[in-house]
Amino acid sequence: MQLFRKLLLALALSCLGSTFLSAQTEVLVPGFLKFEVYTDIPGVNIADLTSAPKFPNAPDHVWYATAFDSRTVYRDDTLTNRGVRLSGFITPSESGDYEFMLRSDDAGQLFLSPDNNVANLALIAEETTCCGPFEETGAPETSAVKTLTAGQSYAIRALYKQGGGANFCQVAWRKVGDTNVAASLTPMWPSPPRPTTATLLLGPTLYWRSGE
Ligand SMILES: [Ca+2]
């Protein structure tokens, strides 16, 4: 019984400690991207989102996406007039040269940092109108080749603006030499990969950091 009480106390302290730490320090949660929603903003352009007074520090909702795919949060097209910021980090399991592809409805932008510092995020791909599949090399929706190192974390971020109709933002990646056509790629998924999708074998780790 004494051992049981000790275990309870240890658990309680652990919970208290976690609560305290979560308010005081950054917490990394593997497998998720932070999904910040800014509602009641008309328009279909990224500037409609970024010029809104509530952006970026006062989102109306904060959710967590389980892939680089807004469909893991918004599973249909019923919601309108909102912008979303997806933020996190990727940690590739294989060093190499990669391209990143963005598709969104409506406009979207994709940013990548050369390191884990969000201050170094830079625009690497852009959808200025909407929709369409993942595009091949050279399209504005597809980044230039980015050389990544296994085990290193890189800050990554996407913005998209939904006016009406279809509502999604998805990001895929492809290692140079991979012969899969861009349009066949599926959105990035955290490891362990889904077993039926060959393009997921690269095994990214997606995660978010609180306070960003
Ligand atoms: Ca739309």
| CATH number of the domain residue 182 falls in | 2.60.120.1560
In which band, very low, low, confident or very high, does the pLDDT at 26 lie, cut at 50, 70 and 90?
Answer: low
**What's the pLDDT score for residue 189?**
86
CB 65 within 8 A of CB 33: yes
Question: Which of the residue ranges 13-22, 100-109, 189-198 has the most confident prediction, judged by mean pLDDT?
Answer: 100-109
Q: How far is the CA of 32 from the centre of ligand 1 (A)?
A: 24
Does some domain include residue 178?
yes
Q: Determine the structural domain holding residue 90 and report its residue range.
A: 27-209
**What's the pLDDT score for residue 198?**
36
**Mean pLDDT value of segment 143-160:** 96
pTM for this entry = 0.81
For the stretch 153-209, pLDDT in tens is 999 999 999 999 999 999 999 999 999 999 999 999 887 544 443 333 334 555 555
Q: How far is the CA of 129 from the centre of ligand 1 (A)?
A: 9
Does some domain include residue 18?
no
Handedness of CA 57, 114, 143, 155 (dihedral sign): negative
Q: How far is the CA of 159 from the centre of ligand 1 (A)?
A: 13
Please name the residue that has the structure tokens 């409506």.
Answer: 106
**8-22, 65-79, 190-204: least confident range:** 8-22
Q: Encoding tokens for residue 91?
A: 């940690």
